């Protein structure tokens, strides 16, 4: 009889232990096929590295993390279908990642429906966090912050005549609107001399380049990114565009996904930024991250890799603080004490409790070639402090 | 009779399915209705439309705009969605049907792409590529099982209507036009009006599918009007077999389930789809229905031979 | 000053037109002679770019030999694809042709992604064209002029082939009456293989020639084939001159359209295509389809 009691206790303890060992499941949506697969690949690599680090330390709440990465093809419908499969079939506790803005907006309503938090690490439309959803968090910059940082920087440049060339969709449009509105607040004397809107995914920019040059702008703002920026930069350089235009300002131009394929062809002296630049800041924290990433994947971490890496760590921090994976508890952990703070390789990330948007400093620099790297790096770096990017929000908590 | 059994089976399937299963089967029914609507044009009338996405998208956007901008209840938007897609089909059909074969195909494609560009660029009205989100129907239809039954009901009505149409004089007239337009017109069939009516009916049914898909997905995006959506109708139809009445619906279900299955395990879905299409076109041009008939034929022959041998 | 600018804009439009022509003319040729709607056409354009990248090992010095190797490889690939996949579907309706060639497009896209990765690949401008010309005081990249020349030369050679050689006459005859050619004892299947390989080689040449100005990605094929369809539908399916006219129209529409309606750059091509289809469905230089009985 006594023996039976011990067996029962052992069984119960075993069950409890097994329960505790159940992994915390994170379902990540990235673009793994098509034109932007490079971004999704580096994002999933960064997230995977963070998961491995955390598990090596014994996981969170004594439970290991499990990352399930799926391809959303950058298509909102596929994104919703896959997010539902992750929630209902894979029983994930969190949704994560998302490269495309439209996918992020499509998936966001599911967080209310299923009470599953979504941590976004790439999609940059300001609309996502302006919807004030309780379980949507963004741990990376959005396009408005980038545009405001660019405007703060542009206001210090000796430029009055501005022009724009951006991809013809929401991101390009909103970025330019935010940039020029903000710049006119800071510098009422600036004027706009030309706006060009090539189709997203264009392959021929010659006519746009000559039309821009004809307007004789002193500064050109651009949000061309990915292949568009690669192609534009090569064609514009051939036209001598960068000799005529003194300042070419692109808040997404220093992505490794752009600079690496351009290689030694990158024009020098472009004033560009990116959400994370692997050589900044020169801290032990950042150096060890770059080292670990290179050791694991044999390449330098791009901004998307670092943002996904930081996103996993920040989510883990929130779970730790909440001592739970429940959506409501995690939300409170993100919001508490003026917003969760995380020291990422790129520096401090602080979440604004009202709209769940992280704010952080931004690094800018002029492109310059270096014998040590096969691509251009940032020179004469200029840091926009986080405070310069803090725009007002309508959300309330 | 067989259709009735199918609907009954789907009716009984509802409570057994998991939540995720309900979503998947609902989506398969929606895609099936869409492909069946396409096949009305394709098989009955012999018109290859590469712009079917236009009507699917207009149905979806009509629902989404009324729900999110005007605050209409979800179900109340159904008549408007049907009318809107029928109207767009009337205009596009009126302009396209005069053309034949590949020119008809290309013009329908061009119109659908123009609508796509409008949805993509007209931010103030359509929300551009940010789409329209939060379209979960209020009340009970926001739950999976009731929504499944609504989808099933509309699917059954649509398919029943198509079945009746096929056996009606109108259906005979369409097939007559398809096989030999000159002869059909010689016996007094007005080709243009018949084809235009078929086009409008096909568009309206595609609009119903779009109306349902927007609510199931909780959002509507310009992708609903993109040419790849039109390609889905063609792929489903050829996959299932255009010559068999329910072929497109079977093809749609197979297409969707395969896609989910492959996508869950690899990022090489395009490759698998390409391989599948290649094999189907080269070896099974009559689609899954053809495969089934072949199999049945072999089995029957095998049985006969076995009986003869025994 | 302004006249100079419009001249410049004309040149950029023509340069764009040249790339569109190289991309689209093979599509038109294949449809005209064989009646095949080749949705995979953009894939061979993509393949041309990737093959040049591979043959030149990413070095500008390898451009010329690479270009010749691409042409040779594309001819072989085109012939193989025709034999293996296209031949079984000649007599099948358009939808099977569209689906089969769409299948090829999907497979090639993933194959390239598997072999080369998803990143962007490009090539520096060949040394001969590295410095710009100066037109009325404005620098103009000489490589664009090379492109215009290449497209012009291709058009000329194609014309000479179609209208000045017996083989070309057969190809033109194939658009009219296949049975008649067979009755004359001409090996029509072989002729078809040749036409298909030629069309593919032109697309590959276009993709390769553009590599120094662009960046190749696996997804470029879909975009390219849609552009190509717009061009040939405007010019007239099956017409070589139509492809040229369609390309020039689209190129100039972009170059000058953005000066007056910069907002609408994205809509121009489809609007023009729909307009042409409404007013002259068989394209500006196409022939109306024969009435079927």
For range C226-244, the mean pLDDT: 88
Chain A interface mutation, best of C116, C221, C258, highest count of A Cβ atoms under 10 Å: C258
> How distant is the Cα of A335 from the closest Cα of chain C, in angstroms?
38
The Cα–Cα gap between B210 and B58 comes to 7
**pLDDT band, residue C290 (cuts 50/70/90):** low
Chain B partners (3+ C-beta pairs within 8 A): A, C
Which chain A residues are Cβ-neighbours of C119 within 8 angstroms? 38, 257, 260-261
Tell me whether residues A204 and C254 touch, CB distance under 8 A: yes
Residue B40 belongs to some domain of the structure = yes
Chain segment A266-323, per-residue pLDDT in tens: 999 999 999 999 999 999 999 999 999 999 999 999 999 999 999 999 999 999 999 9
pLDDT at B286 over 60: yes
Roughly how many angstroms between the first and final C-alpha of chain A, as a whole number? 57
Which chain A residues are Cβ-neighbours of C140 within 8 angstroms? 239
Tell me whether residues A71 and B129 touch, CB distance under 8 A: no
For range B239-265, the mean pLDDT: 91
C22 in Cβ contact with C181 (< 8 Å): no
Classified as helix, coil or strand, A286 is helix
Sheet strands side by side (includes A341-344):
A65-71, A24-30, A94-97, A118-120, A136-138, A357-359, A347-352, A341-344
Tell me whether residues A33 and C110 touch, CB distance under 8 A: yes
Decide which of B46 and C139 is more confident.
B46
For residue B216, the enclosing domain spans 2-238
Give residues 185 to 224 of C whose Cβ lies within 8 Å of A. 210, 212-215, 217-220, 223
The residue in chain A having the minimum alpha-carbon distance to the alpha carbon of residue C4 is A214
The Cα–Cα gap between B69 and A263 comes to 48
pLDDT > 90 in chain C, percent: 34
The Cα–Cα gap between C30 and C239 comes to 10
C33 in Cβ contact with C43 (< 8 Å): no
The residue in chain A having the minimum alpha-carbon distance to the alpha carbon of residue C106 is A34
Tell me whether residues C99 and B106 touch, CB distance under 8 A: no
* Region A2-141+284-359: CATH code: 3.40.50.2300
Q: Does A170 touch chain B (CB under 8 A)?
A: yes
B53 in Cβ contact with B34 (< 8 Å): no
Q: Class of A144-274+362-389 per CATH?
A: alpha beta
Beta strand segments in B61-138, E: 132-133
Output the six-digit token pair for C160. Answer: 């000479």
How confident is the model at residue C291, as a pLDDT? 46
Q: Does B23 touch chain A (CB under 8 A)?
A: yes
Which chain A residues are Cβ-neighbours of B263 within 8 angstroms? 70-71, 78, 82
Task: Please name the member of A36, A207, A261 whose beta carbon is closest to the beta carbon of C16.
Answer: A207
Sign of CA dihedral C2, C8, C12, C18: positive
**pLDDT band, residue B303 (cuts 50/70/90):** low
Which chain B residues are Cβ-neighbours of A101 within 8 angstroms? 129-130
Chain segment B110-168, per-residue pLDDT in tens: 899 989 988 988 888 888 889 999 999 988 998 999 999 999 999 999 999 999 999 99
Q: Which of A348, A355, A302 is nearest to A39 (CA)?
A: A302
How confident is the model at residue A16, as a pLDDT? 54
* Per-domain boundaries in chain A: 2-141+284-359, 144-274+362-389
DSSP state letter for C216: B
Task: Please name the member of A32, A102, A125 whose beta carbon is closest to the beta carbon of B221.
Answer: A102
Q: A165: which strand partners?
A: A196, A222
Per DSSP bridges, beta strands A191-196 and A219-222 are: unpaired
Q: C134: which strand partners?
A: C139
Which chain A residues are Cβ-neighbours of C217 within 8 angstroms? 35, 227
Residue ranges of chain A whose CB lies within 8 Å of a chain C CB: 33-38, 41, 168, 194-199, 201, 203-204, 206-211, 213-214, 226-227, 230-231, 234-235, 238-240, 257, 260-262, 264-265
Q: Which residues contact C244 (CB under 8 A, 6 or more apart)?
A: C21, C25, C155, C235
Which chain A residues are Cβ-neighbours of C263 within 8 angstroms? 197
Q: How far is CA B262 from CA A78, A321, B186, C105, C258, in A?
A: 13, 37, 51, 18, 43
The number of domains in chain B is 1
Q: What is the mean pLDDT of chain B?
A: 90
Among B23-37, B89-103, B273-287, C126-140, name the one with the lowest average pLDDT: C126-140
The residue in chain B having the minimum alpha-carbon distance to the alpha carbon of residue A74 is B223
Task: Please name the member of C92, C106, C270 whose beta carbon is closest to the beta carbon of B117.
Answer: C270
Output the six-digit token pair for C185. Answer: 């004892």
pLDDT at C23 over 60: yes
pLDDT at B309 over 50: no
**pLDDT band, residue B1 (cuts 50/70/90):** low
pLDDT at B310 over 50: no
Tell me whether residues B278 and C107 touch, CB distance under 8 A: yes
> How distant is the Cα of C270 from the closest Cα of chain B, in angstroms?
6
How confident is the model at residue C8, as a pLDDT? 84
Could you identify the residue written with the tokens 């869409």?
Answer: B34
Chain C interface mutation, best of A42, A237, A238, A298, highest count of C Cβ atoms under 10 Å: A238
Residue spans of chain A under pLDDT 70:
1-20
Cα C238 from chain centre: 13
How confident is the model at residue B55, as a pLDDT? 97
Tell me whether residues A206 and C125 touch, CB distance under 8 A: no
pLDDT at B307 over 60: no
The Cα–Cα gap between C112 and C221 comes to 11
* Per-domain boundaries in chain C: 2-279
Output the six-digit token pair for A166. Answer: 């951006």
Tell me whether residues A230 and C5 touch, CB distance under 8 A: no
Residue B67 belongs to some domain of the structure = yes
pLDDT at B267 over 90: no
């Amino acid at each position: 009889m006594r023996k039976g009691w011990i067996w029962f206790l052992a069984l119960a303890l075993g069950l409890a232990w097994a329960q505790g060992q159940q992994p915390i499941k994170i379902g990540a949506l990235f673009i793994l096929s098509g034109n932007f697969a490079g971004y999704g690949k580096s994002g999933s690599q960064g997230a995977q590295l963070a998961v491995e680090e955390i598990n090596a330390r014994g996981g969170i709440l004594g439970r290991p993390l499990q990352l399930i990465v799926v391809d959303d093809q950058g298509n909102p419908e596929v994104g919703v279908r896959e997010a539902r499969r992750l929630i209902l079939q894979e029983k994930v506790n969190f949704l994560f990642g998302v490269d495309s803005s439209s996918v992020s907006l499509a998936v966001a309503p599911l967080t209310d429906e299923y009470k599953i938090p979504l941590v976004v690490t790439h999609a940059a439309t300001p609309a996502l966090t302006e919807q004030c959803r309780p379980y949507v968090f963004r741990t990376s910059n959005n396009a408005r912050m980038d545009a405001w940082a660019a405007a703060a920087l542009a206001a210090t440049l000796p430029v009055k005549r501005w022009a724009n060339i951006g991809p013809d969709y929401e991101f390009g449009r909103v970025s330019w609107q935010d940039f020029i509105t903000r710049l006119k607040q800071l510098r009422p004397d600036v004027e706009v001399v030309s706006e060009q809107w090539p189709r997203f995914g264009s392959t021929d920019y010659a006519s746009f380049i000559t039309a821009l040059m004809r307007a004789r702008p002193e500064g050109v703002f651009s949000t061309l990114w990915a292949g568009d920026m690669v192609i534009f930069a090569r064609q514009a350089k051939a036209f001598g565009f960068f000799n005529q235009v003194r300042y070419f300002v692109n808040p997404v131009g220093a992505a490794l996904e752009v600079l690496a394929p351009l290689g030694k062809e990158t024009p020098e002296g472009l004033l560009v930024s990116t959400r994370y630049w692997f050589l900044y800041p020169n801290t032990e924290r950042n150096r060890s991250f770059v080292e670990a990433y290179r050791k694991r994947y044999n390449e330098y971490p791009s901004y998307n890799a670092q943002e996904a890496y930081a996103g996993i760590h920040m989510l883990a921090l929130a779970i730790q603080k909440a001592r739970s994976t429940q959506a409501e508890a995690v939300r409170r952990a993100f919001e508490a004490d003026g917003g969760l703070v995380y020291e990422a390789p790129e520096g401090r990330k602080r979440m604004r409790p009202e709209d769940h948007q992280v704010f952080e400093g931004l690094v800018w620099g002029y492109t310059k070639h270096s014998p040590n790297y096969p691509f251009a790096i940032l020179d004469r770096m200029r840091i926009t402090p986080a405070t310069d990017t803090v725009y007002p929000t309508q959300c309330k908590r | 009779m067989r259709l009735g059994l199918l609907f009954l089976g789907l009716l009984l399937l509802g409570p057994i399915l998991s939540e995720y299963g309900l979503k998947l089967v609902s989506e398969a029914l929606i895609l099936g209705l869409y492909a069946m609507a396409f096949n009305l044009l394709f098989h009955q009338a012999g018109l290859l439309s590469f712009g079917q996405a236009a009507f699917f998208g207009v149905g979806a956007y009509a629902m989404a705009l009324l729900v999110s901008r005007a605050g209409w209840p979800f179900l109340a938007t159904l008549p408007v969605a049907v009318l809107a897609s029928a109207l767009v089909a009337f205009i596009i059909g009126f302009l396209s049907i005069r053309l034949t074969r590949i020119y008809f195909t290309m013009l329908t494609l061009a119109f659908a792409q123009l609508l796509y560009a409008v949805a993509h660029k007209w931010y103030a009205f359509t929300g551009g590529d940010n789409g329209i989100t939060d379209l979960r129907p209020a009340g009970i239809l926001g739950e999976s099982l009731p929504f499944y039954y609504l989808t099933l009901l509309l699917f059954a009505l649509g398919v029943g209507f198509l079945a009746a149409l096929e056996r009606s004089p109108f259906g005979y007239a369409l097939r007559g036009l398809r096989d030999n337009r000159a002869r059909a017109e010689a016996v007094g069939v007005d080709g243009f009006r018949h084809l235009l009516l078929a086009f409008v009916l096909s568009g309206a049914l595609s609009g119903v599918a779009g109306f349902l898909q927007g609510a199931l997905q909780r959002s509507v995006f310009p992708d609903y009007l993109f040419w790849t959506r039109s390609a889905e109708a063609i792929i489903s139809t050829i996959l299932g077999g255009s010559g068999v009445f329910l072929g497109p619906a079977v093809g749609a279900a197979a297409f969707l389930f395969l896609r989910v299955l492959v996508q869950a395990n690899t990022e090489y879905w395009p490759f698998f789809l390409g391989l599948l299409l290649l094999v189907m076109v080269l070896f099974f041009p009559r689609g899954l229905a053809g495969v089934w008939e072949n199999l049945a034929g072999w089995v029957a022959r095998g049985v006969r031979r076995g009986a003869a041998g025994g | 000053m302004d006249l100079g600018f419009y001249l410049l804009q004309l040149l950029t439009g023509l340069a764009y037109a040249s790339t569109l022509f190289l991309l689209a003319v093979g599509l038109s040729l294949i449809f005209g002679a064989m009646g095949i709607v080749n949705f995979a056409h953009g894939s061979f354009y993509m393949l041309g770019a990737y093959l040049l990248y591979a043959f030149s090992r990413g070095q500008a010095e390898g451009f010329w030999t690479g270009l010749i190797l691409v042409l040779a490889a594309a001819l072989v690939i085109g012939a193989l694809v025709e034999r293996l996949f296209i031949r079984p579907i000649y007599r099948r309706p358009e939808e099977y042709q569209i689906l089969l060639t769409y299948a090829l497009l999907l497979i090639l896209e993933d194959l390239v992604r598997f072999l080369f990765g998803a990143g962007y690949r490009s090539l520096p401008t060949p040394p001969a064209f590295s410095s710009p010309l100066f037109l009325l005081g404005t620098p103009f990249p000489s490589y664009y002029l090379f492109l215009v020349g290449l497209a012009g030369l291709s058009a000329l050679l194609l014309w000479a082939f179609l209208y000045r050689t017996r083989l070309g006459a057969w190809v033109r005859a194939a658009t009219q009456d296949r049975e008649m050619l067979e009755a004359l004892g001409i090996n029509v299947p072989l002729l078809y293989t040749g036409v298909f390989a030629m069309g593919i080689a032109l697309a590959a040449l276009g993709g390769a020639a553009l590599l120094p100005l662009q960046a190749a990605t696996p997804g470029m094929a879909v975009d390219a084939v849609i552009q190509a369809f717009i061009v040939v539908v405007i010019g007239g399916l099956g017409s070589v001159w139509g492809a040229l006219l369609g390309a020039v129209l689209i190129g100039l529409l972009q170059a000058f359209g953005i000066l007056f309606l910069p907002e609408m750059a994205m809509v121009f091509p489809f609007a023009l295509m729909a307009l042409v289809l409404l007013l002259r469905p068989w394209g500006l230089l196409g022939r109306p389809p024969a009435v079927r009985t």
